[in-house]
Amino acid sequence: MLSLSGSSHCVAARLVLHYLLLVSVYEAETRSLKEQISPLKNTSISAIFVFGDSTVDSGNNNFLKTSFKCNFPPYGRRFPNHVATGRFTNGLLATDFVAHYLGIKDYVPPYLDSTLSLDELKTGVSFASAGSGIDPLTAQIDGVLTLQMQLDNFKAYKTRMESSIGKEGAKALISNALFLSSVGTNDFMVNYYGLPIRRLAYTTISAYQKFILHNVQLFIQGLVELGARKIAVVGLPPIGCVPVVITLNSGNALTQRGCIESLCSVARDYNRMLQATLADMQMSHGARVVYVDIYKPLDEIVRNPRQFGFEKVNVGCCGSGLLEVSFGCNLKSELCSDDSKYVFWDAIHPTEAAYYSIFQSIRPLIDNFLY
């Protein structure tokens, strides 16, 4: 059995004490961002269902046999009671802010949490899995849920609701729910440009983008067939501005920390193609499908950080901020003094403050989508 020496116990205790002191300071200095949002009243939205990757996974990977998880400190340092829920950030995700704004619930829980009550399930869950992508191969790299597996889980969810509240009740619940998908970054950042497999089959980025968009169509069609009528699809962020991407693609990662424009261009091209695809689907599938632009909000933050209350845009708060993610960001990692001034929490994922800023940017779209 593993045992710790007295000195190891002391080191561990100091690390925990240091962490608790940090979070208590943040708790005293800041008012909850969620508390700054006035929830809408009397909306027709019954629930929120979320699909995608680590930008919207609220803890599903905790229940999978994968190393790509973050259910440990310092993740969650700004979450209520400082719980590391499995969200790849220091606090809430944008989808949590959306759910609160809609007046549905304060946090979107992970579907794979078997302890969820019927009421929790009825008002919506996240089916997302960190490390996933639109390309099935992307999820297989990290042993996480593919988008089709997430859709299958929603199908199982629908069957469970039909058993609990009847077929008509389940139909009404689903048709009045908001479906949100945020996925695609890993397909390009990790899969296409990180591994040679897809580049052998799709020799141009344009060909791969078309393959991805075909899968998007199949996914949305699957949602519609299961009863979804209000679907929001998030585009790609400026992937060339993600700290780990800058680190791996700069001539000198320590001094050259500008966005990688060639990869940002890939994201912009994909987003234009995605918008056209969604517009075509809007006309033929009997559901309302909207495009959610997060490229512009993040790009504006990166270009004019102080205008949005940020100071650091090209490194993460945790560790060196250059490469750390998941187990690379842990209690032994150095942490920035004020994570609210950082756009990125680790070397890939935004901070709660950045997600809040993104939510504020897309709130008018949410309002228009509801009425």
**Catalytic residue check, 18:** no
Provide φ and ψ at 180, rounded to 5°: -130, 130
Using DSSP's 3-state secondary structure scheme, residue 341 falls into helix
Helix (H) or strand (E) holding 180: strand 178-182
Tell me which residue has tokens 């993600």: 242
CA dist 273 → 12, 132, 164, 270 (Å)? 50, 21, 40, 5
Strand pairing partners for 51? 181
Q: Which residues pair with 348 in a beta bridge?
A: none
Q: Which two tokens stand for residue 300?
A: 């504006």
Range list of H helices, 226-351: 243-249, 261-284, 295-303
Whole-number Å distance between alpha carbons of 23 and 204: 47
Residue 54 falls in the annotated catalytic set: yes
346 is catalytic: yes
- Dist. CA 219–CA 181, nearest whole Å: 10
One of 82, 100, 285, 349 is an active-site residue; which one?
A: 349
CA distance 183 to 175: 22
Selection from 303, 341, 345 nearest residue 321 by Cα: 345
- Exactly one of 113, 129, 346, 361 is catalytic; name it: 346
Instruction: Look up residue 337 and give its amino acid.
Output: S
Question: Could you give the CA distance from residue 310 to residue 233 in angstroms, rounded to a whole number?
Answer: 27
Cis link prior to 74 (omega < 30° from 0)? yes
Active-site annotation holder among 46, 53, 54, 339: 54
Interatomic CA distance for residues 336 and 346, integer angstroms? 11
Of 247, 242, 345, 337, nearest to 298 by C-alpha is 242
Catalytic residue ranges: 54, 346, 349
